[in-house]
Amino acid sequence: MKTRGTVAAAVASAGILLAGWQAGTQAGGTSIITATGTTAEGSGGASGTNGSAPHSATTKGTTSGTTAAGTFTGAAVQTRFGSVQVQITVAGGTITDVTALHLTDDDRKSIQISNRAAPVLRSEVLAAQSADVQTVSGATVTSGAYLTSLQAAIDAANL
Partner 1 sequence: MTIQLPQAQAGPATRGPAARPGRDGNGFAVQHRRRLLRADLLTVVAWASVAAAVALWLSDGGLAAAATPAGAVTAAGIVAGLVGMDLVLLMLLLAARIPLVDRTVGHDRALGFHRKLGKPSLYLLLAHGLLIAVGYGMAAGLDPVSEAIALWSLVPDMWLAYISMVLFVAVVVTSLVAVRRRFPYEFWYAVHLLTYAAVGTAIPHQFSVGGLFAEGTWQRWYWAALCLATGAALLYFRVVQPIAATNRHRLSVVRVEQAAPGVVNIVMKGRALDRLAGTGGRFLIWRFLAQGMWWHPHPFSLSAEPVVLAADGTGTLRITVRNLGSGSGGLVRLRTGTRVAVAGPYGLFGTAARTRDKVVLMGAGIGITPLRALLESTPFAPGQATVLLRGHSDRELYLSHEILELCRLRGARLFHLTGPRDKGQSGWLPDDAVHSGYSLTSYVPDAADADIYICGPSAWAGNVIADATAAGVPATQIHHERFDW
Partner 2 sequence: MQQTSDPTEASGAPLKIRTFTSMGTVISLALVPDGPAAGQAADDELAAALAVVERLFRDLDETFSLYRPDSEASRLARGELTLPRASDIMRDLYAEAHDWRLRTEGAFSPERPDGVLDLSGLVKGHAIREAGTSLLALGRRNWCLNAGGDVLAGGSPVPGSGEPWRAGIVDPGNRGSLVAAYPLAAAGRHLALATSGSAERGDHIWRQHGRPAEFSQVSVAAADIVTADILATAVVSGGTPMLDRAADGWDAAILAVRTDGSLVATPSFRR
- Site residues, partner 2 (CB under 8 A): 27-30, 33, 80-81, 98, 105, 114-122, 124-143, 146-159
- Of 63 and 81, the one with the shorter C-beta distance to partner 1 is 81
> Which does residue 92 touch among partner 1, partner 2, none (CB within 5 to 8 A, set by kind)?
none
Binding mask 77-106 for partner 1 (x = CB under 8 A): ---x--------------------------
8 Å CB contact between 99 and 74: no
Q: Report DSSP state, residue 68.
A: B
8 Å CB contact between 118 and 81: yes
Range 58-66 contact pairs with CB under 8 angstroms and sequence separation of 24 or more:
61/89, 61/90, 66/39, 66/41
8 Å CB contact between 130 and 153: yes
> Which does residue 5 touch among partner 2, partner 1, none (CB within 5 to 8 A, set by kind)?
partner 1
Site residues (vs partner 1, CB under 8 A): 1, 4-6, 8-10, 12-14, 16-17, 19-21, 23-25, 27-28, 80
